[in-house]
């Protein structure tokens, strides 16, 4: 490149720079500058409680309808007069007079809860004697007079073989008096027995054993035979108070003897019925 060409390039570059500067100046003069506004106080708004009340959504309940009763006439009950039937008169009971009791035999009997008059005699056990409710073994056994124990004597029976005595204090719970057999080997009496007053005997309450089976039974002690119930009244026996064992003669035990049925303890007024035989078969009393 020569000098001429470098000079022309420099002129063009200078011209382009002047144009650029002129354009920038014009743009700077054409742009408006902002106007400064004077400071103005900003009003302060005071907060007030101006919250509006929320609407209440309260439903309106309609009034209940009034139900008026309907006037209804009750039916009229008709009563028919009915005559009351006349009842027949009740039969009049005819009272049968009770038989007159013979009180002669009981004239000397002590009143309930009272003791007879003592005689001054005493009876002492030697070694011991059984005391019964009456003068005999047909009465209940109610006590024992032990050896060397003495009690008051009130009287005797007609034969003089039974003595009416006061019960020992420790045994006088149900009975106050009793009877002892007058046996010289068993008791000792401080006087003549026949000089004692006669005391009437109390009534005996009998006891029975009844066979309701079809077999023949035997009752011991005594070896009393009781036939089957079809042979009544031979199937019944009266017994004194005591202990009895009953056997079936038509049934055998393993040893070959009569089959044992039961043992019973009998008191006055008892009635024992045997309903099961030696083979275990039960029967009903006719």
Picking from 227, 225, 223, 224, the residue whose alpha carbon sits closest to that of residue 215 is 227
Mean pLDDT by 10 residues, the chain (286 residues): 56 61 51 47 44 51 54 54 52 39 37 70 88 96 94 95 94 93 85 94 95 96 94 94 96 94 96 95 92
**Look-up of token digits 């080997």:** 185
Assigned token pair, 192: 């003549």
**Do 123 and 190 meet the contact criterion of CB atoms below 8 Å apart?**
yes
Helix (H, G, I), strand (E, B) or coil at 274: strand
Model confidence over 249-268: pLDDT tens digits?
999 999 999 999 999 999 99
User: What pLDDT shows up at residue 109?
Assistant: 42
User: What pLDDT shows up at residue 90?
Assistant: 44
User: What pLDDT shows up at residue 12?
Assistant: 60
Picking from 143, 138, 140, the residue whose alpha carbon sits closest to that of residue 125 is 143
User: What pLDDT shows up at residue 108?
Assistant: 40
User: What pLDDT shows up at residue 107?
Assistant: 36
- The CATH classification of domain 122-195, taken from the options 2.30.30.40, 3.30.465.10, 1.10.3720.10, 3.40.50.740: 2.30.30.40
**Look-up of token digits 């056994």:** 141
**Look-up of token digits 């106007």:** 35
Domain spans of the chain? 122-195, 207-274
User: What pLDDT shows up at residue 272?
Assistant: 96
| Fold observed for domain 207-274 | Immunoglobulin-like (2.60.40)
Q: Rounded distance, CA 160 to CA 27, Å? A: 180
User: What pLDDT shows up at residue 153?
Assistant: 95
User: What pLDDT shows up at residue 185?
Assistant: 72
User: What pLDDT shows up at residue 74?
Assistant: 54
User: What pLDDT shows up at residue 86?
Assistant: 59
Q: Rounded distance, CA 270 to CA 205, Å? A: 9
Write phi, then psi, for 134 (nearest 5 degrees): -140, 180
């Amino acid at each position: 490149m020569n000098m001429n060409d470098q000079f022309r390039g420099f002129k063009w570059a200078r011209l382009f720079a002047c144009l650029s500067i002129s354009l920038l100046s014009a743009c700077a003069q054409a742009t408006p500058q902002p106007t400064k506004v004077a400071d103005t106080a900003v009003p302060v708004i005071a907060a007030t409680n101006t919250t509006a009340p929320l609407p209440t959504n309260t439903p309106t309940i309609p009034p209940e309808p009034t139900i008026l009763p309907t006037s209804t006439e009750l039916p009229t009950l008709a009563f028919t007069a009915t005559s009351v039937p006349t009842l027949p008169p009740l039969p009049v009971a005819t009272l049968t007079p009770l038989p007159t009791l013979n009180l002669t035999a009981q004239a000397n009997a002590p009143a309930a809860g009272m003791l007879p008059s003592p005689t001054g005699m005493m009876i002492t056990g030697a070694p011991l004697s059984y005391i019964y409710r009456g003068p005999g073994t047909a009465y209940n056994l109610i006590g024992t007079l032990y050896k060397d124990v003495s009690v008051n004597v009130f009287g005797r029976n007609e034969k003089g073989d039974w003595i009416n005595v006061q019960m020992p204090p420790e045994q006088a719970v149900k009975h106050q008096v009793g009877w002892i057999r007058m046996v010289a080997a068993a008791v000792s009496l401080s006087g003549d027995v026949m000089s004692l007053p006669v005391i009437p005997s109390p009534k005996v309450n009998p006891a029975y054993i009844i066979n309701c089976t079809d077999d023949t039974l035997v009752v011991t002690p005594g070896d009393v035979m009781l036939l089957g119930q079809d042979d009544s009244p031979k199937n019944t026996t009266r017994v004194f108070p005591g202990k009895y064992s009953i056997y079936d003669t038509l049934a055998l035990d393993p040893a070959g003897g009569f089959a044992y049925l039961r043992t019973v303890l009998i008191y006055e007024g008892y009635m024992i019925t045997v309903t099961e035989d030696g083979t275990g078969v039960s029967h009903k009393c006719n």
